[in-house]
A and B are shown apart, each in its own frame.
Chain A
């Protein structure tokens, strides 16, 4: 008799007491940088009535652009993502983003959190909740996500003899005139040059102003003498820096664990998709410079940079 009761109880299907259900997944991969978005998909559905509203609450208020999209998304038989308008009255006030849903019993909303400067180096968590027309309420909370301390700048154009002076501290490329007019010679960490030298391969190069033997006659602004450490890499193709082309991410910990003690102060022969670790002379910053574009026979490159303040 007892065995029978046990079997019946074990096979009993647990009933959902609440007709309203929800779930959330984070779609964004990799480290979270200030200014970038974290994308969540919030799925809600009810078996009784219709959906009334959805809300997302961040532990730190997001930057401009944070909030729900007005659509629910589904996948067509052909595999295409199809948006279906399901909301009105979208709003974001402080930490709270909300959406009023119209005439639907199920939806998957996209919520984008634009990482604000205030969140740099902090942990951010989120809670999502939804209501249905019959007064039911459900919610989900996420774990905490660490926000990177890194800075990033993308698609800087460098050209031999023109915009060729790179500052890691300012994350900018300058011309000689800009260096002189802004009194920025102390900020020049690397000089870009392109040379064709008989008997050796030189090509696209990043040279510290102090590495005179490799400057090949490049004009160095008065007072520019920084001696950075730079080390070439060929297989670190960061997804952020390459605009989503590759599945590698440079994270804060990569910079912190970097050993640049035996690095040189110049690198020759850069090609597209290669890059280099860089450490400034004062040890204050470590950066990764990625070569987005470079023609092996023409001067000029497009570069992007991630940087972490170490000290």
Chain B
């Protein structure tokens, strides 16, 4: 009887240690959950000015096949100090990080942002093409 009791305790402890060390929810280097989702696309893009209001004229046009974003900014926008934001499919991330003040003033070198799928296996790089609204001639 004593031997059975000892054996049961050992099995319980081994089971406890094994289950407690098992990693149920993998996370990436930023501590974000890695899921099974392979979808990878950007669904919305916005740019905020120094006053934290949008500087876009209308909505940005996103081509998920060509992986481009075309957006027109208001006349008089300071392109050196803009804060980009976007929406992506569930569980996806964006790199480099958006939401920080960014210099978009060199329109000949469009900025690029990469959307990474929830399973972190699909990466799609979007190119942001900006144009500036002009007065009617």
Contact = CB atoms under 8 A, between A and B. Distances in A.
Given A262-B101, A262-B103, A232 B135 contact: no
B32 to A, nearest CB: 29
A263 B81 contact: yes
B51 A232 contact: yes
A264 B134 CA distance: 18
B20 interface: no
B50 A269 contact: no
Contacts of B75: 197, 199-202, 268
B87 interface: no
Contacts of B53: 234
B136 A202 contact: no
Nearest to A236: B51
Interface in B100-137: 101, 103, 133-136
Given A231-B50, A232-B51, A262-B101, A200 B78 contact: no
Interface residues of A, number: 21
Given A262-B78, A262-B80, A262-B103, A200 B51 contact: no
Contacts of A198: 135-136
Interface in B36-95: 49-53, 74-76, 78, 80-81
Nearest to B49: A232
Contact of A199 (B50, B101, B103, B135): B135
A266 interface: yes
A268 B81 CA distance: 15
Contact of B51 (A199, A234, A264): A234
A233 interface: yes
Contacts of A214: 76
A232 B76 CA distance: 12
A200 B80 contact: no
Nearest to A234: B51
A200 B81 contact: no
B5 to A, nearest CB: 53
A186 B44 CA distance: 46
Interface string A162-200: 000000000000000000000000000000000001111
A269 B81 contact: no
B50 A202 contact: no
A214 B80 CA distance: 17
A266 B75 CA distance: 12
A274 B50 CA distance: 12
Contacts of A264: 78, 80-81
Given A197-B135, A199-B135, A200-B135, A263 B76 contact: no
Contacts of A202: 75-76
Nearest to B79: A264
A233 B76 contact: no
B51 A274 contact: yes
B63 to A, nearest CB: 26
Nearest to A266: B76
A232 B51 CA distance: 6
B134 A199 contact: yes
A264 B79 CA distance: 9
Given A232-B49, A232-B51, A233-B50, A199 B133 contact: yes
27 contacts: A197-B75, A199-B75, A199-B133, A199-B134, A200-B76, A200-B133, A200-B134, A200-B135, A200-B136, A201-B75, A202-B75, A205-B76, A231-B78, A231-B81, A232-B49, A233-B50, A234-B53, A262-B78, A262-B80, A262-B101, A262-B103, A263-B50, A263-B78, A264-B78, A266-B76, A268-B75, A268-B76
Given A199-B134, A231-B81, A262-B78, 6 more contacts: A197-B75, A198-B136, A202-B75, A263-B50, A263-B81, A264-B78
Interface of B: 49-53, 74-76, 78, 80-81, 101, 103, 133-136
Closest 10 CB pairs of A and B: A199-B136, A200-B75, A264-B78, A268-B76, A198-B136, A262-B81, A262-B80, A234-B51, A231-B50, A199-B135
